[in-house]
Amino acid sequence: MLLLHMRTLLLLFVLALSMNLSAQDWATAQPVDYARPLMGTDSEYRLSNGNVYPAIARPWGMNFWTPQTGEMGNGWAYTYDAYRIRGFKQTHQPSPWMNDYGQFSLMPATGTPRFHEDERQSWFSHKAETVQPHYYSVYLADHDITTEITPTDRAAMFRFTFPETDSGFVVVDAFDRGSYVKIIPEERKVIGYTTRNSGGVPENFRNYFVVQFDTDFAWTKTFQDSVLTEGLEAEVNHAGALVGFRTSADEQIHARVASSFISHEQAERNLQELGDDDFEAVRQEGRDVWNEELGRIQVEGGTPDQVATFYSCLYRSLLFPRKFYEFDADGEVVHYSPYNGEVRPGYLFTDTGFWDTFRALFPFLNLMYPELNGHIQEGLSNTYDESGWLPEWASPGLRNVMVGNNSASVVAEAYLKSGEAYDYDIENLYEALKHGANNAGPLTAVGRAGAEYYNELGYVPYDVDINESAARTLEYAYDDFAIYQLAKKLGKPAEEVEKYRQRSLNYRKLFDPETGLMRGKNENGEFMAPFNPYKWGDAFTEGNSWHYSWSVFHDVQGLIDLMGGEEAFTTKLDSVFSLPPVFDDSYYGQVIHEIREMQIADMGQYAHGNQPIQHMIYLYNYAGQPWKTQHWVRETMNRMYHPGPDGYAGDEDNGQTSAWYVFSALGFYPVAPATDQYVLGAPLFERITLELENGNTLVISAPENSDVNRYVQRVSWNGEPYEKNWVSHEALMQGGTLEFEMGPEPNREWGTEASAYPYSLSRE
């Protein structure tokens, strides 16, 4: 134990040096010091290394802040290779593909008053930039100004350090597409609203903001589209305000900023989150909040990069879905509904796509943050009441993106794992699941496109003008399994339970015995032709048949049987890595970034940069070869992740790709979230301690773990030999010690008996 402690201190010392921590700080470095918000920011539309921006925020905060290097409206708001900053933007953007809503920005400057982002932008360097989850600082070279930001959930404090000048000013940019500003000089205040959005909002959508300065204005101007005026108020397509300051050298000017989707009065109320605290107090509080959340998982051992990657991924796992609720004058939880435009009581969360996040992000919340997920479920019930549907992609309201009906998994898993521990209307949500499972919605990504075909034929046909039909069918089958599991738990009538059980076997209808893969099928029952298993899109979603053929999360044994048994199944799994990364992009007419990310990864057809195949590595456990899972999980963590700006292998996607890393580093993964089981891999660190929300402690111990010793030799649970290659959620929540004995060679005996395999529906 002493040796482990000394090794850990040495690694932390090296890590501290690599992160530019001072010598006296290295021994007291905390989890927040390892989180790298710049991980994944070196991205563009042609190639994603994360497609993220540095989110300066509180965990799940209603508002994030980010430096803005891209033009107004550009989904790539911040890219690591940029060299000029245009502003500091309040953002609610979940991904560049979804773009933003309710955004506005502040930008300090010196010299001639100017508003346009091309004229006010400034050169900057990463050498003069500090980026932490709770704090951002940068030197703006063209203006000789340092800007600092530290946020709360719904507010933020700015600190601008000006040079000696009589021509300093701050721009408040409410953006275009309909905005308003009003300068109130006697109160040192600017108020306004922005209506800018990318869809998914009612007609009355506004984000109201207030900016309170601590220094008198030397002069004021407003911007009306392309004209600077002397007026104090502007309501036009593109409104903004400039407030001027005369400053001495290194004079600091503070701005306290808050916003609300409800009203200006509510924005003022949200400003009270800052209280009377000064900048350093708010910054320290933010640091403490992040340390509390990140510190609930403590890792020991591993390399400096592994520690930094782990906490960077953990940080990304604690951002979405964001809070979309506020507290009224009586302290009650209320929200503006992006579904009907009303202000309603209760919780609401948004900015997540269940196609991505049902796989690992929501299972992670159920493991570590079940109370928060209880609030999210209440919000989903409110969504159903307000829109008539559950969202599959919400940002902030219903969006027409991706496929599947994976809200079923998100709802069912939460109740299956937490039961009635949290107060929300599960019966209302169950009705919402049935409604979504049996009807096409107002958008093709809401409800089930092709529901009438699926319910009659057991699949969505390829030739009825519904795109990505095989992907829809496979996901609908798993979603039916989730409803089946929930229906059993709720004691629904046997006939209803059996209906969804039978429908969850519909994946069988798309299995092609000739190729041993999943294949689109026409309405007449014939498989579509010609068939190219390397063709992306078409019958599948952002992938090909080699990626989607494994999407039988709930019945891997059934898939094994279809493929001809365990040997044929594992040979097929092996082929994913041994095949060349060839592709057919004719459906898209171009090489989309997901294709390119697979091609350059040197892992064959394995496309970790997108979600459909991320669970596939763990399927070896179902066929008696868990050592291959252990090998490929470690390879993927080593090769597809690191804490730098190009640190992901594709889109990070609202915590999903990060949660994959977090789970895999812990040593297990939720292949089928709507079950009670996690499939075992092998932990990344020598010791991991999880402080569970119920007060219990889970320790994952692997003292011999190393890059060489990546194979599990034996497992024990609370000191007793453990032969299964999965572990239950119920057992983990009770706390205890899960110990892995690691070695350099595979143990081809442990976890290889059928009695050790994880759950499959066919084995019920």
Q: What is the pLDDT of residues 239-256, one digit of tens each?
A: 999 999 999 999 999 999
Tokens of 90: 């309040």
Q: How high is the pLDDT of residue 66?
A: 98
Residue 137 has pLDDT above 50, yes or no: yes
Q: Is residue 748 part of a domain?
A: no
Residue closest to 14 by CA, chosen among 307, 314, 310 = 307
What is the distance, to the nearest Å, from the Cα of residue 203 to the centroid of all Cα atoms in its chain? 28
- The Cα-based distances of 544 to 18, 248, 548 in angstroms read 40, 62, 6
Contact 616, 576 (CB under 8 A): yes
Q: Is residue 687 part of a domain?
A: no
Confidence of residue 289 (pLDDT cuts 50, 70, 90): very high
What is the rounded distance in angstroms from the CA atom of residue 124 to the CA atom of residue 170?
Answer: 17
What is the rounded distance in angstroms from the CA atom of residue 44 to the CA atom of residue 52?
Answer: 10
Residue 11 has pLDDT above 90, yes or no: no
Residue appearing with tokens 């640091």: 287
**Domain of residue 64, CATH code:** 2.70.98.10
Instruction: Give the mean model confidence (pLDDT) for residues 450-462.
Output: 98
Mean pLDDT of the chain: 96
Q: How high is the pLDDT of residue 22?
A: 46
Q: Is residue 249 part of a domain?
A: yes
- Please tell me which residue, 24 or 425, carries the higher pLDDT value: 425
Q: Which residues span the domain enclosing 82?
A: 53-294
Instruction: Give the mean model confidence (pLDDT) for residues 8-29.
Output: 49
Instruction: Give the mean model confidence (pLDDT) for residues 74-99.
Output: 98
Confidence of residue 29 (pLDDT cuts 50, 70, 90): confident
Instruction: Give the mean model confidence (pLDDT) for residues 508-531.
Output: 98
Instruction: Give the mean model confidence (pLDDT) for residues 554-580.
Output: 98
Q: Residue 308: helix, strand or coil by DSSP?
A: helix
Instruction: Give the mean model confidence (pLDDT) for residues 465-484.
Output: 98
Confidence of residue 3 (pLDDT cuts 50, 70, 90): very low
Residue 549 has pLDDT above 90, yes or no: yes
Q: How high is the pLDDT of residue 28?
A: 74
Q: Residue 248: helix, strand or coil by DSSP?
A: coil
Q: Is residue 105 part of a domain?
A: yes
Confidence of residue 25 (pLDDT cuts 50, 70, 90): low
Contact 462, 532 (CB under 8 A): no
Instruction: Give the mean model confidence (pLDDT) for residues 143-164.
Output: 98
Residue 23 has pLDDT above 70, yes or no: no
Contact 170, 188 (CB under 8 A): no
Q: Is residue 641 part of a domain?
A: no
Residue closest to 98 by CA, chosen among 64, 51, 134, 144 = 51
Residue closest to 56 by CA, chosen among 130, 119, 118 = 130
Instruction: Give the mean model confidence (pLDDT) for residues 584-600.
Output: 98
DSSP assigned state of 530: S
Put simply, whether the predicted model's pTM sits higher than 0.85 gets the answer: yes
Structural domain count of the chain: 1
- The Cα-based distances of 135 to 272, 514, 567, 642 in angstroms read 19, 57, 53, 22
What is the distance, to the nearest Å, from the Cα of residue 344 to the centroid of all Cα atoms in its chain? 26
Phi, psi of 85, deg, nearest 5: -110, 135
Q: Is residue 148 part of a domain?
A: yes
Q: How high is the pLDDT of residue 26?
A: 45
Q: Residue 604: helix, strand or coil by DSSP?
A: coil
Q: Is residue 183 part of a domain?
A: yes
Q: How high is the pLDDT of residue 16?
A: 46
Q: Is residue 127 part of a domain?
A: yes
